[in-house]
C-alpha cells in the first residue's frame, strides 16, 4: 500500500519492529549505525547480561515446548544449564555463579506456573499494520487466561507476557508506557481476532508481575505514537539513502549522549558518547553479590538497558 509522502510523492508502508522505533527515540545516531550504515560498524564485545537474559528466555520457551508431563521445575533448571550462553563473563567462575543464580530464578518462576495451562503462543511472531506502518515483533508468551474451570467454553482474556531478567527494578508505569507491549497487544488482537488489552512484565529476579490493562483508546494512542515515530524514521531513512541532501548526517542522526552510552554497542564509533559515560566492562550489567536477591526498592542506578 502506498501513501502520499511529505512532498506529495507516494510513500511505501513503513515496515518496522518496536525495537527499531525505540532505538530511534533513544538515539538517532545509534539507530543509523544499527539499521542503515552498510557495512555496519563493528560492535563492542558481547554483554554478559544479554547472555544471561537469552539463556533464561530460551529455557522458558523450551520448557513450554516440552510435552506437558515433562514440564517440571527441575526440567526448567536443566534446560537453563544445557542452553547456558557463556559470552561476556569475566571468567568461568563468574559464569558458573550466574548460571546457578539463573537456574534458581527459572525454577522459582516455574514453580508459580501451571504446566497444564497451555499458552497460545511462545516466542510467537505477530504483526499488524495501519495505512502508514507495518509492525512485526516476537512476543515472549501469549496467554489465554481462561477461568480455572475452563470458563464454560468461553474464550479467556488474552495477555501479552514479557520476561525481564535485568537488575533494573520495574514499576507498573513501565508496563503502562511500554510502546512495544502496546504494539504486541494490538498485533496479538489482529492475529487472534479477539481483544487483547492486558500486558504484563514478569521480572524474574524479584518475582514481580507488573501488569497494565489498556483500553482501546490507550492502545490507539500508542499506535498513533508509533506512526509518528515511524514517519520520522522513514524521512531520515529516505534522506540517508538519497545521499543526505538537505542536511548533514549528524543533523539528522543526532547523538544523544548520556550515562547510558556506557552500554552502547557503538560507543567506540561515537566521540560524544565516548566522553559522556565511563566504559562498562562486559559483565558490569550483572547483579552483584549485594543485589543478587534484588528486592524491590534497591537502587537500579547504573543498570544497563532493560533486558
Ligand atoms: S554512544 Fe551514546 S550518543 Fe553515541 S550512538 Fe551510542 S547511545 Fe548514541
Helix (H) or strand (E) run with residue 145 in it: strand 133-145
268-289 tens-digit pLDDT: 999 999 999 999 999 999 988 6
From 22, 33, 272, 275, give the residue whose CB has the most ligand 1 atoms within 8 Å, as the site to mutate: 272
CA–chain centroid gap for 129, Å, is 20
Q: How confident is the prediction for the chain on average, in pLDDT?
A: 90
Cα 181 from Cα 45, distance rounded (Å): 28
CA–chain centroid gap for 126, Å, is 14
From 23, 25, 30, give the residue whose CB has the most ligand 1 atoms within 8 Å, as the site to mutate: 30
> Which pLDDT does position 154 carry in this prediction?
72
Cα 45 from Cα 167, distance rounded (Å): 20
Cα 118 from Cα 121, distance rounded (Å): 8
CA of 30 to the centre of ligand 1 (A): 6
Q: Cell 563493528, residue?
A: 42
Please compute the mean of the pLDDT values over residues 123-129 and round it to a whole number. Answer: 96
Q: Is the CB of 135 under 6 A from ligand 1?
A: no
Q: Is the CB of 24 under 6 A from ligand 1?
A: no
**pLDDT of residue 297 exceeding 70:** no
> Which pLDDT does position 292 carry in this prediction?
46
Question: How far lies 29's CA from each of 109, 228, 231, in Å?
Answer: 38, 18, 17
CA–chain centroid gap for 161, Å, is 11
Question: What are 171-179's contacts with CB under 8 Å, separation 24+?
Answer: 171/210, 172/210, 172/211, 172/212, 174/201, 174/210, 174/306, 175/199, 175/200, 175/201, 175/210, 175/211, 175/212, 176/212, 179/18, 179/21, 179/22, 179/222, 179/225, 179/226
Q: Is the CB of 264 under 6 A from ligand 1?
A: yes
**pLDDT of residue 290 exceeding 70:** no
pTM: 0.90
193-226 tens-digit pLDDT: 999 999 999 999 999 999 999 999 999 999 999 9
Amino acid at each position: 500500500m502506498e501513501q502520499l509522502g511529505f512532498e506529495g510523492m507516494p510513500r511505501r508502508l513503513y515496515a518496522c519492529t518496536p525495537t527499531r522505533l525505540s532505538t530511534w527515540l533513544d538515539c538517532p545516531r545509534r539507530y543509523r549505525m544499527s539499521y542503515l550504515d552498510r557495512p555496519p560498524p563493528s560492535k563492542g564485545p558481547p554483554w554478559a547480561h544479554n547472555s544471561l537474559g537469552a539463556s533464561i528466555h530460551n529455557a522458558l520457551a523450551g520448557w513450554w515446548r516440552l510435552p506437558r508431563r515433562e514440564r517440571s521445575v527441575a526440567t526448567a533448571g536443566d534446560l537453563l544449564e544445557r542452553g547456558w550462553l557463556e559470552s561476556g563473563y569475566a571468567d568461568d567462575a563468574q559464569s558458573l555463579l550466574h548460571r546457578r543464580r539463573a537456574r534458581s530464578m527459572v525454577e522459582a518462576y516455574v514453580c508459580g506456573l501451571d504446566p497444564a495451562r497451555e499458552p497460545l503462543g511462545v516466542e510467537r511472531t505477530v504483526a499488524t499494520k495501519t495505512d502508514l506502518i507495518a509492525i512485526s515483533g516476537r512476543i515472549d508468551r501469549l496467554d489465554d487466561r481462561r477461568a480455572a474451570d475452563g470458563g464454560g467454553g468461553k474464550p479467556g482474556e488474552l495477555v501479552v507476557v514479557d520476561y525481564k531478567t535485568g537488575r533494573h527494578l520495574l514499576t507498573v508505569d513501565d508496563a503502562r508506557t511500554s510502546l512495544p507491549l502496546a504494539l504486541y497487544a494490538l498485533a496479538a488482537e489482529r492475529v487472534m481476532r479477539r481483544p487483547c488489552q492486558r500486558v504484563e512484565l514478569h521480572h524474574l529476579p524479584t518475582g514481580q508481575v507488573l501488569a497494565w490493562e489498556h483500553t482501546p483508546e490507550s492502545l490507539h494512542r500508542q499506535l498513533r505514537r508509533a506512526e509518528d515515530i515511524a514517519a520520522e524514521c522513514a524521512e531520515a531513512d529516505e534522506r540517508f539513502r538519497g545521499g543526505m541532501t538537505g542536511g548533514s548526517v549528524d543533523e539528522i542522526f543526532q547523538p544523544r549522549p548520556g550515562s547510558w552510552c556506557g552500554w552502547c554497542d557503538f560507543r567506540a564509533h561515537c566521540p560524544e558518547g565516548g566522553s559522556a559515560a565511563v566504559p562498562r566492562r562486559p559483565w558490569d550489567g550483572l547483579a552483584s553479590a549485594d543485589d543478587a536477591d534484588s528486592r524491590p526498592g534497591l537502587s537500579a542506578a547504573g543498570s544497563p538497558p532493560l533486558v
